[in-house]
Structure 1
């Protein structure tokens, strides 16, 4: 049972990205790599496909297709989304300590502060929503709404059918009633539409060298913070 106050319908809406914002790293990549490594044939298939899929993942217009390729390789033999979600839960359960160590304490403190104030908090992530929900369950936040990449069965496996990324992330939030965004937290220039949609954007753990770009495209005074990702940029938050 949740110990957090029930948000009012008119409470401020606060949106958190997940990877490199609440979690140190790319949670989806960690999951898919584990899924592929479970079977030598999947490893071989991924190696053979990487010259094609790797560049697709690197570029925004083709990222969904590249990610879908790796998801399909890792999930081949699964015929229902329910099976895929069960594998996610098994991955999280068997890597509990490793995953928990990647949750960023400063991020979780900010997250909890918003919830304790009664804000409407939602997580919007490019990872599968079941993965973010399972990880947030470690720290008593499993009840927070998660909007994430949708998947569906395809040719004997599972593929991403709608990637919660860039402008599509904002569209998916709006479709679910999360339109009037007070604050948004993200690390990525790919989330620029989300940050620009918020009245108060906050950049956290950006790639080094991207701070100047964020300062150009976001309102003056936008905080650019580091919440504990050692290989990322941003200023240390004040106490």
Structure 2
């Protein structure tokens, strides 16, 4: 990757990237917590036992946070500090680097790099733990980009989400960090409609096939709907 990049001016355009299915082909947080659950047969059995309850909760937006928190509790029960989870994230990234590096989307990284080279204020806003996104971005020398993600901490004998960077909460967290006026936003997810609607120029990338019509209906006419390399997703291919 080219660099170093210019230091953005305080009034430079704010450009927000989602991470999963936008820069990264897949759900990085789910992959991490699945790995954590598979650390032991007891965690795996517990996850299978509660999936009939938690699975539908994750699939439905109003209950998604609670459903994800249930799986995260199973994955991290016994941990006492956020640092304990960070250590496991480091171990996970080290052991799975080739697969994770291969999931970074080349077309997405070209756009990401172009915004940085132009001096824009680039920020990643993700539902994954920010330490995980930073570690993956370090593979391509973008570890210095600000990352806003789900805040985790000790609770109920585990390390679970204390503040989920998701839907309206993602916008609140961006504003708290000084990213109130968004010039461009890139995301695949209908959960990011508050972010896309707040952006002067929304760009939908790698959406689910069944969400395309909703994006066309709810976002301004002419909003680009692109595919940056997720073969299972919709959007016009990048040339």
TM-score interval, normalised by the smaller of the two chains: over 0.9
Stretches (4+) displaced over 6 A: none
Hey, what does 2:31 align to over in structure 1? Answer: 30
Hey, what does 2:204 align to over in structure 1? Answer: 203
d(CA) in 2 for partners of 1:65, 1:212: 28
Matching of residues 1-239 of structure 1 within 5 Å: 3-238=4-239
Tell me, what secondary structure is at the counterpart of 1:210?
Answer: helix
Higher mean C-alpha deviation, range 224-233 or range 210-219: 210-219
Higher mean C-alpha deviation, range 109-118 or range 205-214: 205-214
Higher mean C-alpha deviation, range 170-179 or range 204-213: 204-213
- The count of corresponding residues between Structure 1 and Structure 2 is 237
d(CA) in 2 for partners of 1:51, 1:213: 28
d(CA) in 1 for partners of 2:164, 2:157: 20
d(CA) in 1 for partners of 2:40, 2:212: 40
Tell me, what secondary structure is at the counterpart of 1:95?
Answer: helix
Q: TM-score, normalization: structure 2?
A: 0.97
1:119-177: CA deviations, max 9, x gaps?
A: 00000001011100100000000010111111110122111111111111101100111
Higher mean C-alpha deviation, range 120-129 or range 63-72: 63-72
Q: TM-score, normalization: structure 1?
A: 0.97
CA RMSD of aligned residues (A): 0.9
Runs of 5+ consecutive residues of structure 1 not aligned to the other structure = none
Higher mean C-alpha deviation, range 50-59 or range 6-15: 50-59
